[in-house]
Amino acid sequence: MSKFIDISHADGVATVTLNQPEKHNAFDDAIIDQLTTAFKKIDADDSVRVMVLSANGKSFSAGADLAWMKRMAGYTQEENLNDARALAIMLNTLNSLCKPTIARVQGAAFGGAVGLVSCCDMAVASERASFCLSEVRIGLIPATISPYVIEAIGSRAARRYFMTAERFNAHTARKLGLVSEVTEETKLDSCINDLIKNLLANGPRAISEAKRLVADVANAQIDQRLIDETSQRIASIRTSEEGQEGLNAFLEKRAANWIKHK
């Protein structure tokens, strides 16, 4: 798409790569717009089964670009609001992607980059990765990313790290729930490929519906409405073309038709 973002697609996996290693993959309004466009295209592409969000260089992302922050300092209230909304749209687009998403975190993720990681369904970090919600250091708050970070690490941990701006390592990030796995940097791709292999073995519609199920049911009151709705969902997917294929493949002890053999 640009020299700042690379997009590749192979064997059902789309990889979006932040590609400004000399700037530690810091992002600005232009890159936010490009990411939003990329995520929307991937979401609409039926040939894509999984998306990986990665970065080139030493850092995953330093968050907001310094030059962008300098420009924002001179913005009016309305201009700042429009700027924040663009970031919010990008994050929500990533968070609500109908495909499974994996963050490949090879290095430092600061500020808004923690939001990117939080918006992905899974995150695999190298042992040298580190994280920091650094906004308060410069008199700001992590407002736009907060819904996703709080959902990932919980409100108690968010209180601490939103206010202290302390840097924490990959193992702490895993304990908090921000990342799913921590591995040696040389084994990062192998770990991600194992996740991809598991995902590609499952029904595409079922994965999408399972992801939506979590979003809709999390923190919902268990009442008759929820019981009826979840019952309807399983009944609907059982009778769907994919559900019938999956059940028949299981009973006939054969691979389902969404599994591609090389």
Domain ranges of the chain: 5-199, 203-251
Supply 188's token pair.
């990062």
Tens of each residue's pLDDT in the chain, 262 residues: 457 899 999 999 999 999 999 999 999 899 999 999 999 999 999 999 999 999 999 999 998 887 787 787 788 888 888 888 999 999 999 999 999 999 999 999 999 999 999 999 999 999 999 999 999 998 999 999 999 999 999 999 999 999 999 999 999 999 999 999 999 999 999 999 999 999 999 999 999 999 999 999 998 999 999 999 999 999 999 999 999 999 999 999 999 999 886 5
CATH for 5-199 is 3.90.226.10
Taking only Cα atoms into account, the Rg of the chain, rounded to an integer number of angstroms, comes to 20
Interatomic CA distance for residues 27 and 63, integer angstroms? 6
Amino acid letter at 125? Answer: A
Q: Per the confidence metrics, is the pTM higher than 0.85?
A: yes
Per the CB < 8 A criterion, the answer to whether 62 and 111 are in contact is yes
Interatomic CA distance for residues 34 and 108, integer angstroms? 22
Amino acid letter at 57? Answer: G
